[in-house]
């Protein structure tokens, strides 16, 4: 590969990012977790909760959020995908009122890596036909 001389245009129109990407997952408190996920892991001990935003790589737009419950002892994870839907408008201000819509919780094996758990869950979404691009 040759070095690009100063002043010469760089032709990078051929690179178009594609697929899903997400920010590093961060741990969240149980009070921030969607109730369906809390209910799905009720009775488990030592569960940690994580969240991340899912982005469309080509458009750099947010498609929704993944929330994961991770049970290190049992080696299981449980995930949901959340999207925001405008449910109504505030009559006084005309501001939109958004509500979270969540997929059904999905449990799967967990192998000690939160980022891999996010990837595994996104693969489940694709296989189940609940790919984030298909969300209304």
Q: Is residue 35 part of a domain?
A: yes
State the pLDDT confidence band at 136, using cuts at 50, 70 and 90: very low
Separation between Cα atoms, residue 40 and residue 102, nearest integer Å: 13
Q: How far is CA 66 from CA 7, 9, 22, 48, 109, in A?
A: 44, 40, 9, 14, 16
Q: Is residue 13 part of a domain?
A: no
The parent domain of residue 117 ranges over: 20-131
Token duo for residue 108? 């799967």
What is the distance in angstroms between the CA of the first residue and the CA of the last residue of the chain? 44
Tell me whether strands 96-102 and 26-28 are parallel, antiparallel or unpaired: unpaired
Burial 26-58 (b: 16+ CB within 10 A, else e): eeeeeeebbebbbebbeeeeebebbbbebbbee
How high is the pLDDT of residue 51? 96
Q: Is residue 87 part of a domain?
A: yes
**pLDDT at residue 134 is higher than 50:** no
Q: Is residue 78 part of a domain?
A: yes
State the pLDDT confidence band at 135, using cuts at 50, 70 and 90: very low
Q: Is residue 120 part of a domain?
A: yes
Which position has the token pair 């209910």? Answer: 39
Q: Is residue 11 part of a domain?
A: no
pLDDT one-digit tens code per residue, 55-108: 777 666 677 889 999 999 899 999 999 987 776 777 787 777 777 788 999 999
Q: Is residue 12 part of a domain?
A: no
Q: Is residue 9 part of a domain?
A: no
Residues 101-120: what's their mean pLDDT? 91
Total domain count for the chain?
1
pLDDT one-digit tens code per residue, 30-51: 999 999 999 999 988 889 999 9
Which pTM does this prediction carry?
0.74
């Amino acid at each position: 590969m040759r070095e690009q001389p100063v002043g010469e245009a760089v032709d990078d129109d051929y690179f178009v990012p594609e697929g899903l990407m997400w920010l590093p997952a961060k741990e969240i408190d149980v009070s921030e977790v969607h109730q369906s996920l809390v209910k799905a892991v009720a009775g488990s001990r030592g569960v940690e909760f994580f969240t991340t935003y899912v982005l469309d790589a080509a458009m750099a737009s947010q498609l929704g959020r993944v929330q994961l419950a991770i049970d290190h002892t049992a080696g299981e994870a449980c995930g949901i995908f959340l999207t925001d839907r405008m449910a109504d408008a505030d009559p006084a201000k005309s501001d939109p009122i958004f509500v979270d819509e969540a997929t059904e919780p999905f449990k799967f094996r967990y192998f000690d890596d939160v980022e891999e758990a996010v990837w595994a869950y996104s693969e489940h979404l694709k296989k189940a036909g609940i790919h984030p691009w298909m969300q209304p």
